[in-house]
Structure 1
Amino acid sequence: MPDPRWLDDREMAAWLPLIKLIHLLPQALDRQLRDEVGIGHSYYSMLASLSDAPDRTMPMGELARYTATSPSRLSHAISVMQQRGWVERKPSPADRRIQYATLTTAGLEVLRKVAPSHVAEVRRLIFDRLTLEQVDQLRELGTALLDGLDGAEPAGR
């Protein structure tokens, strides 16, 4: 087995803040959302994704991929939001194996209530701290890193 390619000082100086960010940012976003409406950021992402979909409806599999959520975790979240009256789940009339999630009017109202403060928190935690050039760099870096997480080889390798 070949020797590991250890991180050098420069890479370690980039890696450690990234790992800390990966852990702390979701916690901060969850805290704000839980305080306001009792849901975490992953639930918010599901509601927001459904609000942007045609007829506020998406197949469950597509919603899972779009929100980077496992099918079982998505199913549980949809069940919780369904009990709250925020989402409806319906089978496809053409294929009973496919389920659709639909954002209800009550769910849309919850999203409208919390979205302004959530966006303000995202701005406070991220965008207000960056220059326009850094925002562009963040987009480029995020895109490059995500490219390697979808199971394909990273671009440029």
Structure 2
Amino acid sequence: MQVQVPSDPSLPAWLTNSWPRFTRARWIAAWLALLRAHATLVRKLAVDLVEVTGLTLGDYDIPAQLVQAGDALRMTELAERAYSSRSGMTGPVDSLVEAGLVSRAEAEADGREVVVALTDLGVSRPKETAPIHIRRVAQLFVGPLDGQELAVVEGAMKKVTRNCTFG
């Protein structure tokens, strides 16, 4: 996902005139900081993961989600956990099937549903790559923040997403 982050927070008057000046400056700065942090961290984590493990973030995340779920999920559940759509999961899952990391089968209860499961190779791969990825997340995201700042970020993001759904 590519996000363009403008360097100048000035926006057209028609977009911001309804907000008080102090609020406008604060929310624009906060929004741009969030976009910049997300884009920068995801880009850096993606590059580092490919360089060290050969896996893209998607190739890492799908098996990681399956491990957390007990090794198998319906495609719709996997998409939800990976913040994607079911159709958006098809290509990445196809690649992982070809690589021998996951298998795909019809759900026993409902033949219209697809279940994605880890193979033996798929189980071992996250065990190798997770420590590398987690260490980089800790260095790039956790390291610059203290416990209080992490709590504020967590609380703010939970509040923002409380009434939002994805998918």
Same fold (TM over 0.5): yes
Q: TM-score, normalised by structure 2?
A: 0.81
CA distance in 2, matches of 1:27, 1:67: 17
Contact 2:60 2:129 in 1 (8 A): no
Aligned residues: 148
Amino acid paired to 1:9 = A
Match of 1:16 among 20, 25, 32: 32
Aligned to 1:90: 105
Instruction: Report deviation, 1:144.
Output: 1.4
8 Å Cα contact 1:86-1:103 kept in structure 2: yes
1:101 paired residue among 113, 116, 125: 116
Using structure 1 for the length normalisation, give the TM-score: 0.86
Point out where structure 2 has 5 or more consecutive residues left out of the alignment: 1-13
Would you say the 8 A contact 2:76–2:85 is kept in 1? no
**CA spacing shift, 1:43–1:148, aligned 2, 3 Å:** farther
SS at match of 1:17: helix
**Following TM superposition, where does structure 1 have runs of at least 4 consecutive aligned residues deviating by more than 4 angstroms?**
none
Answer whether contact 1:37 1:110 (CA < 8 A) is retained.
Answer: no
**Cα distance in 2 between the residues matched to 1:25 and 1:11:** 21
Which residue number corresponds to residue 42 of structure 2?
Answer: 26
In structure 1, list runs of 5 or more residues that go unmatched.
152-157
Q: CA deviation at 1:148?
A: 4.0
User: How far is 1:149 from its partner?
Assistant: 3.1
Give secondary structure in 2 for the equivalent of 1:8: helix
Alignment of 1:109-128 (within 5 A): 109-128=124-143
